Structure formats: C-alpha cells, structure tokens
Amino acid sequence: MQSPQAISPTHGFWNLPVDAAQHGPALDHHLLLNLWIGLGLLALAHFILLLGITLRKRASRPTHQLLIEYLPLAALTLLFAFFAIRAQRLWAAQRYTGADLSAMQVEVTGMQFVWYFRYPGVDAAFGNTKLPLVAPSEGNPLGIDPNDRYGHDDIVTSQLVLPAGREVDLTLRSQDVIHGFSVPQMRLKQNALPGQTAHIHFTPEVPGDYAILCSQVCGLGHYRMMATLRVLPQPAFNAWLQSHEVKP
C-alpha cells in the first residue's frame, strides 16, 4: 500500500494550523471573531475612559452614569453571553450531540506514556476488557478478555488510521491518570479520565499524517506521549483495514 503524501504544517491566518477536519473552519472563525472583537473592545475601553473624563466635567451625574457606565456594561454583558452560547453550541456539536449511526467506531486508550487504538473487527463489536488482563509485554495492552467471542477479531494498533470523508466516533478511556487527547490540525481536544468513557466525533477531510499529543501533564514521560493520526482515502483505508484483520 502506498503511503499518502504527508501534509506539511502550513499555516493560515495568524499562524493557525491547517484545517483538516470538517468542523475546523467554524471553530477558527469563532476564535478569530473573538480576537477581533477583543481588539475592538480594547480600543473602545480607552475611548470610553477618555470620554468619561471629558463628560465628568460637563455633564450631570445621572447622564454620566447612563452613558459611560450602565450602557457599556449592558452591551458587554450581552456580547459575552452571545460568545459563550455560540462557543457552547460549537463544542456540543462535537462532544454532546451524538454521532451519526453510520459513524465509524474507534476506541482510544491512554496509558503512561502511550496511546492505543482499537477497531471492532469484522463483527462490528468490541470485546470486553478487564484490568487484571492488561499485559502489554504479552501482546494484550488493553486487557481484552480471551473468553469473549467479540474480542477475537479486535484490531489494536499504536497508530490511528482513519478514512477521509467519513464521520468517526472516538470512545476515550484511560488506564491510569488523566490524559488529554489532542490533534491540533483536527481541532480536537478531549480528556480521557480513568474509570470513565468520553465520546468525541468528527470527520477528517484531508489525507495526511498528523501528530496526536497528550495535553495533560500525565507524569515524567509526558513529553514522549505522542502518536500519529493517518488519514487515508477510502480505498487505501479499506486495504489497510483488510491487511490488519485478525485471521481466524
């Protein structure tokens, strides 16, 4: 199988990483809108300060309070409420709104100091895992129960490989401490918590190789907790998946 051409970290406006996911442009637009309005507010604050000094000498106290204190405060309150609601909706679209039923299912497990990725295999079902069975040195880093018939065909890799143009639903887990699953070019960041599961879904669009980082300080080896997300065209992904299928 021919490897895809890796995408260099080209930058957009204000040196943002390239957008490689479907939801990326909406997040970038919201970020840049916040920054531009923040710049405008900085200029406006100085203008109001100068205006207030001027009007304090000329206007009565009630007029001064209405124009310089109450109206700007009310406007800022409405503005920040708008941005908070808009940001929450963008985040909820990835985190709290369920993925499409046809979304590809992949499990992501973080442990000091490595990422593992599990695919359900031909039966489209994950096998049960048990912590006492975790044995990376024996080829079972996730503790898949050998007596569970659904786990025999599960595919476990140290590289996350996904098809371009298809929605993916990631289930995040941690075996020890809090890890932060982060892919800047995909505009993804979600913590993996021990004893809990979290979901995040997205649609990768641009084939290439992208760095997977841990955004939480998870121990002395935190700096080396990295992996690779490889996005392939659908035919190339099908060939990769077939080559990794567990033979009966």
Q: Check residue 25 and give its pLDDT.
A: 77
> At residue 238, does pLDDT exceed 50?
yes
Long-range contacts from 41-45, C-beta under 8 angstroms, 24+ separation? 41/76, 44/72
Confidence of residue 128 (pLDDT cuts 50, 70, 90): very high
Angle, in degrees to the nearest 10, between helices 71-95 and 24-58: 170
Mean pLDDT of the chain: 83
Task: State the pTM of this model.
Answer: 0.73
Helices (H) and strands (E) in the chain, counts: 4, 10
Domain ranges for the chain: 24-95, 104-244
Extended beta strands in 146-187, E state: 155-157, 160-163, 168-174, 179-183
For domain 104-244, the question of CATH label 2.60.40.420 is answered with yes
pLDDT band at 106 (very low <50, low <70, confident <90, very high): very high
Q: Between 46 and 1, whose confidence is greater?
A: 46
Mapped onto helix, strand or coil, the DSSP state of residue 105 is strand
